[in-house]
């Protein structure tokens, strides 16, 4: 923030937090002290005389006590403050005989109060903090703990206890969370201990262990927090008031769902007052808090006791009610009890399961998606469990890795889902939506429990969000559809039918909804052009690992084609592996006229196998496409289409993956190719052959230059050695 913005923030605090009248606050006031001239940022007057001087800087540490003393002396003020607008260092001016100096104090007195009255206020006089001020305050508390030599996570746990004590104290008629000016530290400690005894009955899970902060530092923390209402602070903040993610970093097991994703989930759920809601992987409780704010009765399940403590605190610090159960819903023996209690119990649910976790066979007997399997994904098991706990017609929103929606290994889970629920929405989230915790590409999946499952006529809302800024618009469009309102959908939003569990990413379904003219846009489109899927036009062969056909042999006569050997339009064998096959490799041989495509990493590079290519075996990350009928489709035309913007767009639609993008054959089969008349295809084929010839000539030139450079280097080395 600019310093003018910081001044405005502190000016607002003087009005709201300290109750000073606006007429007593002056900005940019000029004063002199001796020969020095100063312009003071803010001056608060009392009886028309300077009372408090405030110096604003983005970093309080850049303001020295000597500077502050000079400012106070120039104005003749009693108090001086160094502030960044949110956090302050406060001093009282002391005149002792011929010496004037600054004494550090916990705070400046509010309007009409004296310094000695600090700590005597009632709970009715508490004020709320902005979200930024609360966050800065918590960082300041963490710094105090680090001064005691405690690690951040250890400090955060103790800060959690102190915040709970403060929130509980706000419910008492005679508050105990107070530290009076220059009060004996032991007296403050005694009151906080008494408060902890009272509060432990309400929060036994969190307050069973005593505070570890030293007495003198505890007093300092109480002085910072005592005038604020924790419950009233940061009301505009989504999720937890505790900046857990920021303070502990991505490697901590205490991971929070990003605030933008929480807003999206709650928006799609559209909570009704009084509904029963469950989050079976509630983490630190940010999602629970937002659902509770919307009026639902919430239950959270968390397998980690530490995370459960933070979830309980997240609700309490906002004055919300909820129940937190500690057990593993997809692995604990306790779950059988809760299965009986919660069977068909909840109106709605949401879950962000741990990404990429595989559950071993020992824990799978109680799951339909687990029986007869060695392992199953956590996402599949959380889906099955949560659907079991929903009433018929109950709503479930999940955020899952996008691979769940297209990977062949998850097709059983997707089929199970379609038998147990209707799909209401599939929303592809932007890359990085879960950073820094995960770089996985994710999707939001909205389901409605239904004993008849999904049908081919169900209308499914699909959207591709390119940024979090689009979330509000997507929620509004989804709700409009849900309430039967007419909408004009954009290029990244559509209503579709799901015909198969084979491929269910939003990008794929959006591609399925495209009209022929949209597919042909930018190509040689004509009215009546037929579009055919690749599965109708070519035979697919997925490449094989090297070890299945032989061993590398530099003198071998057969080339092993890796993804890096597939260039744009041409195959480049300069750095290819060679082998003498030990097994039958005919299935994986690339024949003249075949199209090769890279299917992992850099997805979608395509090349044509030419007439003069040597024997080649297609490797593991390459797919071979052999055209079924060249009277319908020319190889060069197909190569040109797949290399065009429209071809690349479709390949991108059907590609998926978390850290490494990939396209499965089942996805590639769905790519639609406009079948132009053969004369038109031949014209395009001529252009493609010219491109191929140009690339081959350029490759030959580069090869000759490399050989020339190699000889020059050898000559240079020889001259160096003989010199």
Q: What is the mean pLDDT of each run of 10 residues along the chain (723 residues)?
A: 82 94 93 85 94 92 89 93 92 90 94 92 91 91 88 87 94 94 95 95 90 94 95 89 76 79 96 96 93 96 90 92 91 68 93 81 72 80 93 96 85 93 94 75 94 91 91 91 66 84 82 52 49 90 88 88 89 86 86 90 87 87 92 91 87 68 80 88 86 81 80 78 66
pLDDT of residue 518: 44
Structure tokens at 482: 């849900």
Q: How many CB atoms lie within 10 A of CB 330?
A: 26
Say if CB 160 and CB 203 are below 8 A apart.
no
* Candidate CATH numbers 3.90.220.20, 3.40.30.10, 3.40.50.300, 3.40.50.2300; the one for domain 518-695: 3.90.220.20
**Fold classification of 3-118 (topology level):** tt1808, chain A (3.90.1570)
Helices in 609-662 by DSSP H: which ranges?
635-643, 645-654
Count CA atoms within 13 Å of residue 652 on its CB side.
8
pTM of the model: 0.72
Helix H or strand E segment including 494: strand 493-496
Cα gap 639→604, rounded to integer Å: 11
* 685 SS3 class: helix
Domain boundaries, the chain: 3-118, 129-225, 244-513, 518-695
Residue 667, C-beta contacts closer than 8 angstroms, at least 6 positions apart? 406, 503, 508, 654, 655, 656
- What residue ranges in 34-122 does DSSP mark as E strands? 36-46, 49-56, 79-83, 88-96, 99-105
- What residue ranges in 47-87 does DSSP mark as E strands? 49-56, 79-83
Residue 678, C-beta contacts closer than 8 angstroms, at least 6 positions apart? 631, 634
* Candidate CATH numbers 3.30.230.10, 3.40.50.720, 1.10.3210.10, 3.40.50.150; the one for domain 244-513: 3.40.50.150
Structure tokens at 314: 């997240």
pLDDT of residue 18: 94
Cα gap 146→113, rounded to integer Å: 33
pLDDT of residue 651: 84
Nearest by Cα to 71 from 50, 89, 46, 87 = 50
* CA distances for 177 relative to 212, 222, 230, 352, 526, angstroms: 17, 7, 12, 37, 78
pLDDT of residue 614: 87
């Amino acid at each position: 923030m600019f310093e003018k913005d910081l001044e405005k923030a502190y000016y607002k605090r003087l009005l709201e937090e300290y109750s000073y009248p606006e007429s007593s606050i002056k900005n940019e006031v000029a004063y002199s002290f001796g020969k020095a001239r100063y312009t003071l940022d803010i001056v608060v007057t009392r009886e028309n005389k300077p009372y408090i001087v405030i110096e604003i800087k983005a970093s309080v540490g850049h303001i020295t006590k000597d500077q502050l003393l000079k400012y106070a002396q120039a104005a003749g003020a009693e108090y001086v403050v160094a502030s960044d607008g949110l956090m302050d260092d406060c001093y009282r001016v002391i005149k002792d005989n011929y010496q004037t100096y600054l004494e550090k104090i916990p705070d400046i007195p509010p309007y009409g109060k004296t310094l000695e009255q600090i700590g005597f206020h009632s709970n009715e006089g508490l004020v709320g903090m902005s979200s930024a001020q609360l966050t800065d305050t918590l960082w300041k508390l963490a710094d105090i703990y680090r001064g005691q030599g405690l690690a951040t996570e250890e400090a955060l746990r103790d800060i959690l206890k102190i915040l709970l004590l403060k929130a509980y104290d706000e419910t008492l008629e005679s508050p105990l969370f107070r530290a009076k000016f220059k009060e004996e530290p032991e007296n403050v400690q005694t009151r906080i201990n008494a408060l902890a005894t009272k509060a432990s009955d309400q929060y036994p899970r969190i307050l069973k262990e005593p505070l570890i902060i030293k007495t003198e530092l505890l007093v300092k923390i109480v002085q910072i927090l005592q005038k604020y209402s924790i419950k009233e602070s940061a009301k505009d903040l989504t999720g937890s008031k505790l900046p857990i993610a920021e303070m502990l970093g991505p490697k901590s097991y205490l991971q929070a769902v990003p605030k933008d994703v929480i807003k999206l989930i709650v928006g799609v759920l559209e909570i009704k007052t009084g509904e029963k809601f469950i989050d079976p992987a509630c983490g630190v409780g940010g999602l629970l808090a937002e659902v509770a704010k919307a009026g639902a009765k919430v239950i959270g399940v968390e397998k980690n006791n530490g995370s459960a403590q933070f979830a309980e605190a997240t609700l309490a610090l906002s004055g919300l009610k909820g129940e937190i159960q500690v057990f593993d819903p997809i692995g604990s023996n306790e779950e059988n009890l809760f299965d009986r209690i919660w069977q068909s119990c909840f109106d709605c649910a949401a879950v962000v399961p741990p990404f990429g976790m595989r559950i071993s066979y020992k824990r799978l007997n109680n799951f339909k998606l687990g029986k007869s399997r060695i392992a199953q994904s956590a996402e599949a098991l959380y889906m099955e469990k949560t659907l079991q706990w929903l009433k018929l017609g109950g709503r479930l929103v999940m955020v899952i890795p996008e691979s769940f929606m297209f990977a062949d290994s998850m097709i059983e889970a997707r089929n199970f889902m379609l038998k147990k629920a209707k799909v209401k929405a599939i929303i592809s989230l932007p890359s990085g939506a879960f950073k820094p915790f995960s770089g996985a590409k994710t999707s939001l999946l909205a389901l409605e429990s239904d004993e008849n499952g999904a049908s081919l006529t169900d209308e499914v809302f699909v959207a591709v969000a390119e940024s979090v800024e689009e979330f509000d618009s997507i929620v509004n469009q989804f709700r409009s559809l849900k309430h039967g309102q007419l909408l004009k959908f954009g290029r990244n939003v559509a209503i579709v039918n799901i015909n198969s569990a084979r491929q269910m990413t939003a990008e794929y379904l959006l591609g399925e909804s495209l009209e022929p003219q949209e597919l042909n846009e930018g190509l040689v489109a004509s009215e009546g052009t037929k579009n055919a899927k690749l599965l109708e036009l070519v035979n697919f062969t997925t490449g094989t690992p090297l070890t299945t056909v032989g061993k590398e042999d530099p003198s071998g006569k057969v080339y092993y084609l890796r993804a890096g050997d597939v260039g744009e339009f041409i195959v480049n064998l300069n750095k290819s592996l060679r082998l003498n096959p030990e097994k039958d490799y005919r299935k994986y041989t690339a024949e003249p006229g075949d199209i090769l495509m890279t299917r992992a990493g850099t997805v979608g590079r395509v090349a044509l196998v030419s007439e003069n290519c040597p024997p080649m075996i297609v490797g593991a990350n390459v797919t071979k496409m052999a055209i079924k009928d060249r009277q319908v489709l020319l190889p060069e035309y197909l190569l040109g289409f797949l290399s065009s913007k429209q071809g690349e767009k479709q390949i991108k639609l059907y590609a998926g993956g978390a850290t490494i993008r990939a396209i499965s054959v089942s996805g590639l089969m769905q790519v639609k190719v406009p079948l132009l008349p053969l004369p038109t295809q031949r014209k395009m084929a001529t252009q493609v052959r010219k491109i191929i010839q140009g690339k081959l000539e350029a490759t030959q030139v580069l090869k000759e230059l490399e050989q020339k450079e190699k000889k020059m280097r050898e000559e240079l080395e020889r001259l160096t050695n003989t010199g």
